[in-house]
Structure 1
Amino acid sequence: MGSGQWNVERRCFSSESPQSMDPENGPETGSLSIVVLGASGDLAKKKTFPALFNLYRQGFLSADEVCIFGYARTVISDDELRDRLSGYLVREKDASSEELEVVAKFLHLIKYVSGPYDSEDGFRQLDKEILKHESLKTGAEGLSRRLFYLALPPSVYPSVCKMIKTCCMNKSDGGWTRVVVEKPFGKDLESAEQLSTQIGALFEEPQIYRIDHYLGKELVQNMLVLRFANRLFLPLWNRDNIASVQIVFREDFGTEGRGGYFDQYGIIRDIIQNHLLQVFCLIAMEKPVSLKADHIRDEKVKVLQSVVPIKDEEVVLGQYDGYRNDPTVPNNSNTPTFASVILRIDNERWEGVPFIVKAGKALNSRKAEIRIQFKDVPGDIFKCQKQGRNEFVIRLQPEEAMYMKLTVKQPGLDMSTVQSELDLSYRQRYQGVKIPEAYERLILDTIRGDQQHFVRRDELKASWEIFTPLLHRIDNGEFKPFSYQAGSRGPAEADKLLEKAGYVQTPDYVWSPPSLE
């Protein structure tokens, strides 16, 4: 990023952006303590701290109010943590002196406390450091706000939450304490409910923010606006017009050194049960009463509870050749690296419409998209159905875009038809506009107390109810994955399942984002 763009962003945000916004009562003031637990881990370094830095440089975190604390078992100093983080915030060799100055100011806000995750000593020390900050930053009418971000494995959530509850809760009237927990939220229905019960015994539901970064993506956030603010889509969004819906996640690389971790979960737990199922809810839900968090989440829960049990014949699992070559993966691993699952909804809007949810690693491309295919035009006087159906495609990443595939007349003297598209490509249409990272948006929502884009407990329970029977069969070796070549489309059986579901491929059609020229 050049220094000119950096200056523009600071001008645009620093003077006008709210520091913290209570959805009901307006801006909040007073000290804000953000504690990143697991501060020395990869998630914190690569996602959490960079997101906090971007919020700071855009003016959403004020140096007059905020202090950021790192907490982990590693024994290091404040400066050592800052040195470890700086390379993840900016590329120093490409940075201007102004950029480096902003980074230095941000790093100065970070303090570090080391200690175990299951002992009061470290958390008592953390509380003392937070109190020092609060005594300096909280005015007579200000609030004491404490946000704990658990960039940690779920196995330590209960002990860490217990220590927070025992030692580190907000101590002022009118302030708050909030806890952000990362996925995976358990491995199945039983473990997820156990985890929810343990955390729920310590904190009220409004204090718990179960983060799924897919809900922070720009095009996912656009779904409610697209569906409910455009008359064009309202009459079309149902079983009378839509033939099928695909929600696809593809990666062109394998586990890349994470084989041991990935093998404990597999592609369904890692991607489908959480990220893609959240997208599924936003596509299929009914219009909420309002944009309040609980009204939106009520509708998502209704959709999940309407999903019928998954049929064996509507599931294809795959494992890429070479996956078991990873020394951290068992030689007899049954863990799928690819899955294609058809979900069906038993309600008036969607009866008979297959929702094909598909995710895989080591495939021939990298993308995440929603593909809504419409039914054939009755009475095809142009005899053009073989060219393909109308499709509405929402590209979540990379190259964020929305485009509608249409049949149009080929330019020329003949009355011949061709597939083309109406295209809204974000990089072309919104030049110079920075699309926020998902973690930036969701951390800001947590500070503001907006739970709209976070997972509620009953929603989590309903999602696990859909997949737990299938996952147990996979874990028990009763459901075997097909092998597929790394760099391919995945197992051939997945394409057969797609065809069986009624999806019609568009021959020789390839979408490419428009040029910026």
Structure 2
Amino acid sequence: MSTINTGNNLPCESPKDGESASLKSFEGGCVSIIVFGASGDLAKKKTFPALFNLFRQGFLPGSQVQIFGYARTPLTDEGLRDRLRGYLKPAKSDLSKDPSSVVKAFLDLITYVHGNYDTEEGYLKLEQSIVEHEELKSGEEGPTKRLFYLALPPSVYPAVSQMIKKCCMNKRGWTRVVVEKPFGKDLASSEELSGQLGQLFTEEQIYRIDHYLGKEIVQNLLVMRFANRFFLPLWNRDNIDNVQIVFKEDFGTEGRGGYFDEYGIIRDIIQNHLLQVLCLVAMEKPVSLSPEHIRDEKVKVLRAIEPIKDDEVVLGQYDGYLNDPTVPKGSTTPTFATIVLRIHNERWDGVPFIMKAGKALDSRKAEIRVQFKDVPGDIYRCQKQGRNEFVMRLQPSEAMYMKLTVKQPGLEMSATQSELDLSYRQRYQDIVIPEAYERLLLDTIRGDQQHFVRRDELRAAWEIFTPLLHRIDRGEFKSLIYPEGSRGPPEADQLTERVGYVRTHGYIWIPPSLKAEL
């Protein structure tokens, strides 16, 4: 019998007779999902579309779920629904039905409450509205569940959390609070925010969301590493020369420079997204698939990372950054960074982990590139062809492929580079890869914290980067200007070459979907 993963690592039986695949997630009462900042960009572009996709796939049964939007903007229920309608896209599988009816059924679940974030009045109205729906769906004494999603700036987390604690805590079941990054700007501000939330909620109630942990390829990392025999003996300093974790965008701030300039590329991307990926690449095998056992191993990796060396940092700023009217004049905030991290333990001693992130570069992609050492005693003299690499492409065109040297077809004995390729669009044509927010919201409802950031994990991450960030803020590191559409400052390539990365020239991986078009 086929199984469905419910997020707690124990399979459940497939649903029968049209039964929703999510019934086990909703045993024991209805679920109320409350989205704070409901009128903002994050909510309408990410949170509500993710909830809609879960709904249309049967993971949020309308008979057991009610969704509430809360914000300061004066709107009616229908006003919020009108704002969201254009962002809810039915899938191809919905086209056999009336697509508009699927959207309408979801929007009918949404109730809007208008109120301030720092006064009780709005929260009391919200509490009354939640209770009314809970009694309607679970009766006056049945169990209930409440998920509060803070699609808000971190500056208002403390005020909103205090009001939730005071006015809206669930008395008949669990309460869970999802908070979005950034979690502070350095170690001190992060610890202050964590302390404020920790006084109000237990660690089991707090879900710090990093959407990179919900990406399909990132979620495949542990399966690839620990379920395949041929990776186990190779995944160490004896065989791997270096690891690159790369995030590239081919566009700049595009009017969002005010927000970005406050944080910069290291806080925005490297300290959270890429560092989370590094932990999964480098961690030891956990005792079990329990979320706490996995997060324990991630923390061990973070605590083994050595202080960052000055000569293993290159910062850059693209030449059009200051032309963005939302960017402060004369800003020195980096839009590009290449940083080498080194893990001081038995498995990784001597292996550089190269973290690279930037805006306005030559391409858009995020990937993990594991480069193996040269073949000893290479009788084919193939080093000029490039090294073996295992690449996991996170976005776009999700894929995993192995670069290796093979014989060029023909009568001559000449070698060339090729790949063993698992491209998701080709291999899984009938499967829709879920968005990260869909997966993480469902995990929250199921109570699976594996893909969320624990407090000690957050602290360890900030301890690595805070000294460097403070020095950058004081102007002790200079951002090098690089042209838009380039690879970034040439000094970054020089750094990666110096620490051991060997770039393959003349070889480009092309996703099979693009090959077909060509």
Q: 1:44 offset after TM fit, Å?
A: 0.1
* Counterpart residue number, 2:166: 166
Native 8 Å contact 1:14 1:58 kept in 2: no
What is the TM-score of this pair, normalised by structure 2? Answer: 0.94
Matched, 1:143 2:143: yes
* Counterpart residue number, 1:154: 154
Q: 1:19 offset after TM fit, Å?
A: 3.5
Secondary structure of the structure 2 residue equivalent to 1:265: helix
Cα separation, 2, equivalents of 1:371 and 1:389: 11
Matched, 1:32 2:36: no
Matched, 1:219 2:217: yes
Native 8 Å contact 2:255 2:325 kept in 1: no
Q: 1:141 offset after TM fit, Å?
A: 7.8
Q: 1:357 offset after TM fit, Å?
A: 0.4
Native 8 Å contact 2:90 2:99 kept in 1: no
Alignment of structure 1 residues 311-322 onto 2, 5 Å: 311-322=309-320
Q: 1:230-280: CA deviations, max 9, x gaps? A: 001000000000000000000000000000110000000000000000000
* Counterpart residue number, 1:188: 186
> Which residue of the other structure, out of 318, 324, 327, is the alignment partner of 1:326?
324
Cα separation, 2, equivalents of 1:302 and 1:28: 36
* Counterpart residue number, 2:132: 132
Matched, 1:411 2:409: yes
Secondary structure of the structure 1 residue equivalent to 2:98: helix
Q: 1:444 offset after TM fit, Å?
A: 0.2
Cα separation, 1, equivalents of 2:273 and 2:16: 32
Q: 1:13 to 1:348 in 2, by over 3 A?
A: farther
Secondary structure of the structure 2 residue equivalent to 1:225: helix
Q: 1:13 to 1:82 in 2, by over 3 A?
A: farther
Alignment of structure 1 residues 318-467 onto 2, 5 Å: 318-467=316-465
* Counterpart residue number, 2:88: 89
Alignment of structure 1 residues 146-295 onto 2, 5 Å: 146-172=146-172, 175-295=173-293
Cα separation, 1, equivalents of 2:233 and 2:44: 46
Secondary structure of the structure 1 residue equivalent to 2:229: coil
**Equivalent AA in structure 2 for residue 244 of structure 1:** N
Q: 1:286 to 1:265 in 2, by over 3 A?
A: same
Q: 1:125 to 1:20 in 2, by over 3 A?
A: farther
Q: 1:140 offset after TM fit, Å?
A: 7.6
Native 8 Å contact 2:218 2:277 kept in 1: yes
Alignment of structure 1 residues 13-24 onto 2, 5 Å: 15-21=19-25
Q: 1:272 to 1:490 in 2, by over 3 A?
A: same
Q: 1:393-419: CA deviations, max 9, x gaps? A: 000000000000010011111111100
Q: 1:131-188: CA deviations, max 9, x gaps? A: 000001115884210000000000000000000000000021xx10000000000000
**Equivalent AA in structure 2 for residue 74 of structure 1:** T
* Counterpart residue number, 1:76: 75
Q: 1:432 offset after TM fit, Å?
A: 1.5
* Counterpart residue number, 1:119: 119
Cα separation, 1, equivalents of 2:216 and 2:20: 21
Secondary structure of the structure 1 residue equivalent to 2:224: helix
Cα separation, 1, equivalents of 2:416 and 2:206: 51
Native 8 Å contact 1:392 1:404 kept in 2: yes
Native 8 Å contact 2:367 2:391 kept in 1: yes
Q: 1:29 offset after TM fit, Å?
A: 2.8
Cα separation, 1, equivalents of 2:16 and 2:368: 32
Secondary structure of the structure 2 residue equivalent to 1:201: helix
Secondary structure of the structure 1 residue equivalent to 2:86: helix
Matched, 1:305 2:309: no
Instruction: Percent identity, please.
Output: 73
Cα separation, 2, equivalents of 1:101 and 1:39: 22
Q: 1:154 to 1:390 in 2, by over 3 A?
A: same
Q: 1:91 offset after TM fit, Å?
A: 7.6
Native 8 Å contact 1:19 1:59 kept in 2: no
Q: 1:20 to 1:122 in 2, by over 3 A?
A: farther
Cα separation, 2, equivalents of 1:317 and 1:344: 18
Native 8 Å contact 2:32 2:130 kept in 1: yes
Matched, 1:481 2:479: yes
Taking only aligned residues, the RMSD between alpha carbons, in angstroms, comes to 1.6
Secondary structure of the structure 2 residue equivalent to 1:382: coil
Native 8 Å contact 1:20 1:447 kept in 2: no
Cα separation, 1, equivalents of 2:451 and 2:111: 29
Q: 1:109-149: CA deviations, max 9, x gaps? A: 00000000000110010000000000011158842100000
Secondary structure of the structure 1 residue equivalent to 2:244: strand
Structure 1's consecutive aligned runs of 4 or more residues displaced over 6 angstroms after TM superposition are 94-97
Cα separation, 1, equivalents of 2:448 and 2:368: 26
Q: 1:32 to 1:121 in 2, by over 3 A?
A: same
Cα separation, 2, equivalents of 1:307 and 1:124: 47
Native 8 Å contact 1:374 1:390 kept in 2: yes
**Equivalent AA in structure 1 for residue 295 of structure 2:** R
**Structure 2 segments unaligned to the other structure (5+ residues):** 1-14
**Structure 1 segments unaligned to the other structure (5+ residues):** 1-10, 22-26
The range that moved more, 326-335 or 100-109, is 326-335
* Counterpart residue number, 2:45: 46
Cα separation, 2, equivalents of 1:216 and 1:415: 45
Q: 1:30 to 1:91 in 2, by over 3 A?
A: closer
